[in-house]
Structure 1
Amino acid sequence: MRRLIIVLALVAACGANAAQAIREVGYELLEQRERPGDHFTQGLYFDGEHWWESSGRYGQSWLARYSDPARPPVRRQWLAPNRFAEGLAVLGDRLFLLTWRAGELQVYRRDDLARIATRHYAGEGWGLTTDGKSLIMSDGSDKLAFRDPDTFAVSRRLRVHGGDADWSNLNELEYAHGLVWANIWQDTRIIAIDPASGEVRAQVDLAGLQPRASGPGAVANGIAWDRARDGLWVTGKLWPRLYLIRPAGLGFGDPRAGDDR
């Protein structure tokens, strides 16, 4: 009887572990595009015609708009030498740019990149996206903060969990098909997060896209939803290419999903 109880306990434990495992999904590579390999990419956004990107490092940080990522930017704004550009979100006619340790959110006009406002926050700024109503921010922990676009006040916080794993170091964010996609700093995986519960729904490994000759700083970072082509543009810091991938499922490839932002 005792042996039977032990066996049943082991079976139950294995079943629980299996239930906790995060599903890894593959992807279809739709396109790749060349770009300069000196971008320390922090935030990335694509509206189907233009690209917006933020690039970090002290003394080298900028915000730019492109019509073609392989050509010089149409417009670029350099940040002060003591500001390190981080995550970027576009909502309506405004661009929202985080800074790393300065606790400063910079707000720009979308059409000409003129800076129009500044907001402040406690802690570090890493990634930023929007669900069309709130700004969603990461700070290098396993938490996401939902913030008001006008005041930047926090409306709620969400702990990311799943698979019995530590999901700290959440970095660049993108909202697509009702899920928050996140880079993980110094990790080749991007994860899909349920914005209601914080549960990690799936993971996609970008290791196959990592440049072969890359240094320790050339980590995967940058996700932009291409609604028209139903895919995600992904890249990394100091990567010489952008890749358009279509994950298997999670709203992608489903004609009923539509544009939910």
Structure 2
Amino acid sequence: MPRFPYLRLAVVVLSLACVPSLAAATIPVYGYKIVREFPHDPGAFTEGLFYEDGFLYESTGELGASTVRKVRLDTGEVVQQVDTPTGYFGEGIITSGTKLVQLTWQDGVAFVYDKATMKLAGGFRYPGEGWALTRDATHIYMSDGTPTIRVLDPASFQRTGSIDVTANGKPVRQVNELEWVKGEIYANIWQTERIARIDPKTGHVVGWIDLAGLLDVSKLDNPVDDVLNGIAYDAAHDRLFVTGKHWPKVFEIRLVPKR
């Protein structure tokens, strides 16, 4: 999400209030072990991330700086990039066949690019805000900052259903960057250091991943804004990657039980 310095305190308070069950003993909490660190462009205001065929695909935000990128994981080198059309704030990204789909924040417009050339190939409209995208073999999942994840048809991009995200019966708001991992939807909860593990059949949070201390954001230029946001999964090698907005690193992590 973008910068609102005059709302920072309110946003933090609201975000924490919207995750009422973080301390609930009935939901397992996982910690992490860093497996490996990779370089990441600190100029990238990461909004969407996924891994495919040896590369990270990344969507960056901020007006005038939004892009879609193909990035070499080991070096952080941007091997291909296209600017988001002028005047739009880029958000989540996912692949759909030979296309890349990028959401925008408040304009209700998604852009569709040819994956091979990254040339703009079309688009579609949707109501409300666009935050993040992920997919499984048959569906695309879209977050909009509310507790409801939209389910889209990957061919028509039309909405076919929804998932209401809850933790111990309470709605979970600020659902942001998404990733499909082993039959679950992993979701960054914006302005927190937590990732929710969501059962897509019920919407229930079945686990929390606590990434506190992964990066000292106090050393970044805008620690309130430059938060954890970016999840990618390499299914072939069972590798989980996470990063954040303007973070200088991508971390490969392994989950470990916390309690």
TM-score normalised by structure 2 residue count: 0.84
Corresponding residue SS for 2:213: helix
Question: Does structure 2 conserve the Cα–Cα contact (< 8 Å) formed by 1:119 and 1:151?
Answer: no
Aligned to 2:37: 32
Among 178, 182, 187, the alignment partner of 2:187 is 182
**Measured at CA, do residues 19 and 63 of structure 1 come closer, stay the same or move farther in structure 2, by a change above 3 Å?**
closer
Write the mapping of 1:108-127 to structure 2, written as runs, cut at 5 A: 108-127=113-132
**How far apart, CA to CA, are the structure 1 residues paired with 2:235 and 2:162?**
27
Per-residue deviation, residues 122-171 of structure 1 (Å, max 9, x unmatched): 00000100012111000000110001122221111111012244410000
The equivalent residue for 1:51 is: 56
Q: Which residue of 1 aligns with 2:104?
A: 99
1:238 aligns with 2:246: yes
TM-superposed CA distance for 1:97, in Å, is: 0.7
Return the alpha-carbon distance in structure 2 between the equivalents of residues 109 and 133 of structure 1.
20
Fraction of identical pairs, as percent: 35
**Residue of structure 2 aligned with 1:208, choices 213, 217, 240:** 213
Greater relative contact order (Cα < 8 A, sep 6+)? 2
Moved runs in structure 1, 4+ residues, more than 6 A? Answer: none
Identify which of 218, 223, 230 aligns with 1:222: 230
- In 1, Cα distance between the equivalents of 2:117 and 2:107? 24
* Compared CA separation, residues 184 and 240, structure 1 to 2 (3 A): same
* Amino acid in the other structure paired with 1:95: L
CA contact (8 A) 1:20 1:164 kept: no
Deviations 1:238-260 (A, max 9, x none): 111000112248xxxxxxxxxxx
Contact 2:128 2:144 in 1 (8 A): yes
Residue 48 of structure 1: CA displacement? Answer: 4.3
Aligned residues: 232
Note closer, same or farther for the CA distance 1:247–1:48 as it changes in structure 2 (3 Å cut): farther
Q: How does 1:4-153 map to 2 (within 5 A)?
A: 21-68=26-73, 70-153=75-158
Bigger fraction of residues in strand: 2
Offset at residue 30 of structure 1 (A): 1.2
Cα contact 1:50–1:65 (8 A) shared by 2 = yes
Deviation at 1:55, TM superposition (A): 0.4
Which structure has the bigger radius of gyration?
1
TM-score by length of 1: 0.84
69-78 or 55-64: which moved more?
69-78
Aligned to 1:5: none
CA contact (8 A) 1:235 1:243 kept: yes
| Counterpart Cα distance in 2 of 1:71 and 1:47 | 15
Match of 1:197 in 2: 202
* 1:192–1:201 Cα contact (<8 Å) kept: yes
Residue 255 (structure 2) aligns with: 247
**Counterpart amino acid of residue 191 in structure 2:** Q
What is the deviation of 1:219? 0.5
Q: Would the aligned equivalents of 1:29 and 1:245 in 2 still touch at CA under 8 Å?
A: yes
DSSP-derived class of the 1:74 partner: strand
Q: Which runs of 5 or more structure 1 residues have no equivalent in the other structure? A: 1-17, 250-261
Aligned to 1:8: none
Give the distance between the partners of 1:69 and 1:62, measured in 2 at CA.
Answer: 20
